[in-house]
Amino acid sequence: MNHLSKKRQSIFMAARCAFPYTIPIFAGFWFLGMTYGIYMNISGFSFVYPMIMSLIIFGGSLEFVAVKMLMSAYAPVQTLIMTLMIQARHLFYGISMLDRFKGMGWKKIYLIFGMCDESFSINYSAQIPENVDKGWFMFFVTLFNHVYWFTGATIGGILGSLVSFNTEGLDFVMTAMFVVIFMEQWLKEKKHYTALAGIGVSAACLLLFGADSFMIPTMVCILCVLTVFRRPIEKAGDIK
């Protein structure tokens, strides 16, 4: 009994510790999720579509594209290729999380399933206090994000164009969050080789390939840069 209540207490503490980190994501996901639900609604889909899709795909940018896919002619091969291209960046997240998800038991499956940009960014960068269970912390970050996205998309799908809110520009909350996480990472390092490579390569590829197709070239170039300059990067000592 005592053991059980102790366990419950530690789970509760992890949830309470995780929640503040997800507040910006709540704002961003409700806004984007509702926009997505409304978009599906006015495209002629029942709210069941955004509800189920937000639950089982849980990947914002792909879900917007999926609306267009559902409205065009049936093209399964193209759908799969598009999906893999849009989502390829998750491969990088997985490689970065190999160590941290070790020994998480059944939670690991859900952590990987729910590893969107935002969950990854928080789970990778958050300074989790010593006395908080890391597995449960990451579990709750992922779960909260998942719930925000799911409820936002469903509400948007139900209300449709009935809602009109002057929240223009609220989506910037996601950009602001990534800027903060980037800075936190930056302030932790002595040299900034890989951070600069990430910004520089992405910006160059964006100019060269355009907004719709720059991510794959960016990923390939980042891999090349990190491989070619492995020695100086490891020497810089930021990588332990």
Scan residues 85-114 and list those touching another protein (CB under 8 A). Answer: 87-99, 101-103, 108, 112-113
21 binds another protein (CB under 8 A): yes
Q: From the CB of 176, what's the least distance to another protein, in Å?
A: 4
Residue with tokens 């492995």: 230
Task: Tell me whether residue 161 or residue 175 sits nearer to another protein (CB atom).
Answer: 175
74 binds another protein (CB under 8 A): yes
Side chain identity at 162, as an amino acid letter? Answer: L
40 binds another protein (CB under 8 A): no
162 binds another protein (CB under 8 A): no
DSSP alpha helices (H): ranges in 19-75?
Answer: 23-42, 48-56, 60-71
Q: From the CB of 149, what's the least distance to another protein, in Å?
A: 13
Q: From the CB of 11, what's the least distance to another protein, in Å?
A: 23
Q: Which candidate, 18, 27, 53, places its Cα nearest to that of 148?
A: 27
Question: Which of 139, 148, 149, 214 forms a contact with another protein (CB under 8 A)?
Answer: 214
For residue 107 the two structure tokens come to 């939670």
Question: Which of 2, 5, 131, 166 forms a contact with another protein (CB under 8 A)?
Answer: 166
190 binds another protein (CB under 8 A): no
Give the count of residues interacting with another protein (CB under 8 A). Answer: 95
- Cα–Cα distance for residue pair 170/26, rounded to 1 Å: 11
Q: Which candidate, 203, 134, 159, 156, places its Cα nearest to that of 60?
A: 156
Task: Tell me whether residue 10 or residue 202 sits nearer to another protein (CB atom).
Answer: 202
Q: 210 — alpha (psi -120 to 50), left (phi > 0) or beta?
A: left
175 binds another protein (CB under 8 A): yes
- Cα–Cα distance for residue pair 26/16, rounded to 1 Å: 15
Interface region with another protein, contact rule CB under 8 A, candidates 5-13, 128-136, 155-163, 217-225:
217-225
Residue with tokens 């996205």: 149
Handedness of CA 82, 86, 92, 97 (dihedral sign): negative
Task: Tell me whether residue 12 or residue 178 sits nearer to another protein (CB atom).
Answer: 178
